[in-house]
Structure 1
Amino acid sequence: MKLINNYINYVELKANDLHKIKSFYSGVFNWKFTDYGPDYTAFSESGIAGGFEKTATPVVKGALIVLYHEDLNLIQHKIIGSGGRITKEIFSFPGGQRFHFEDPSGNELAIWSEN
């Protein structure tokens, strides 16, 4: 899949039990999973790429929409200049970097880059 700036690229969900969530989605929808350590599993064959992050807290804001942008610093400055708020500074993960932000209504999203 070609990566395009500003397009929704990934959906991240929370789960209290990764084994149970994988069993549910693979059994019901035939999704495939790839584990990235004990606290994260990515899914495929679902129509959009995504993953589940293990959490011990109750799931309140279930989905995290993840957009792609090749220049995280540039897009971060545009978000701040347009009234958004950075909630998690740029951090590295296997495969790239990302940060989280809230839009003016309080919706949390993330933006990632492979750079």
Structure 2
Amino acid sequence: MLTTNYVPGTPNWLDLGAPDVDAAAAFYSGVLGWTFQSAGPDAGGYGFFQLDGKTVAAVGPLTEEGASSAWNVYFQTPDADATAKAVEQAGGAVRVAPADVFTAGRLAAFTDPTGADFAVWQPGDLPGGGLGTVMAPNTLCWTELYTTDAARAKDFYGSVFSWTYQDMPMGGDAVYSLVSAPGGGKVGDSAQGGIMELQQEHLRAGSSSEWHPYFGVADCDATFAAATDRGATVMIPPTDAPGVGRLAMVMDPAGAPFALLKGEPTTT
């Protein structure tokens, strides 16, 4: 499960690239109850989504030429420059070279060998990753990679972050791989996300490799309705997933995909 006790290779920051920051802030405020706080006049429109006074994500204008709106998942690293070298050695590409963000930390952005974009954050003055809370209602609870080549993706991220995996058969040839980072605890119990290969019908429909976030919610159906009422496009309607909970997936009005999850109660 996700925690704010970040170890290398765990998700530690999340931001949205949006063509219209004000419109994005209004949408997520209406759907998840977030408020927007600007990072200041020198931040180029970048700011923070907050819930009950805690930062849950961030948002900023699109800066890369030809970029489309998307959520960007960041992973903890003690050395962004070393991670950039590891990415290249493992067959990935550097999209944004390591750079300091004032004194808050150092970031870099990459593309894995299957085409999925992701980023890393090396903390500076900003402790950990900056997310004030996870796993609470209306906050990040899971990260997931849909990929054109699961085996290649697993080899890549295993090389870069030393991730370990637990494969879960899903019927037929489909396999869902739970992801855990070293130091996060027992594989499975400490899972922070999943990797799943896109099926042929998704590829024929134009799907490509991408990371996306899941936000935990108290009521999947109500939150889904709030999103679609505000212009979100349905990708997966509310669906029961045995052993997981009730989930749905949408694209926000600008085209950024994300998922909603009402998890099943856990027992010990």
Place the TM-score, normalised by the shorter chain, in its bin.
0.7 to 0.9
The question of whether the paired residues in 2 share the 8 Å contact of 1:16 and 1:58 is answered with no
Unaligned runs of 5+ in 2: 125-268
Q: Deviations over 1:19-75 (max 9, x none)?
A: 2221221232111332113511211339x8321111387762512111111111222
Residue matched to 1:111: 120
**What amino acid maps onto 2:94 in structure 1?**
I
Over the matched positions of the two proteins, sequence identity in percent amounts to: 21
Q: Deviations over 1:61-110 (max 9, x none)?
A: 51211111111122222211111111111111141111111100111111
**What amino acid maps onto 2:100 in structure 1?**
S
Counterpart Cα distance in 1 of 2:12 and 2:123: 12
Residue matched to 1:11: 14
TM-score by length of 1: 0.82
Does residue 1:101 correspond to 2:118, yes or no? Answer: no
How well do the aligned residues superpose, as a CA RMSD in angstroms?
Answer: 2.5
Counterpart Cα distance in 1 of 2:17 and 2:83: 25
Does residue 1:54 correspond to 2:54, yes or no? Answer: no
Counterpart Cα distance in 1 of 2:29 and 2:113: 36
The question of whether the paired residues in 1 share the 8 Å contact of 2:75 and 2:121 is answered with yes
Segments of 4+ moved more than 4 angstroms: 56-59
Out of 64, 67, 70, the residue aligned to residue 75 of structure 2 is 67
The question of whether the paired residues in 2 share the 8 Å contact of 1:9 and 1:49 is answered with no
What aligned pairs does 1:68-83 form with structure 2 within 5 A after superposition? 68-83=76-91
Counterpart Cα distance in 2 of 1:49 and 1:80: 30
Unaligned runs of 5+ in 1: none
**Secondary structure, in 3 states, of the residue corresponding to 2:99?**
strand
Between structure 1 and structure 2, the one with the greater Rg is 2
Aligned residues: 114
**What amino acid maps onto 1:39 in structure 2?**
G
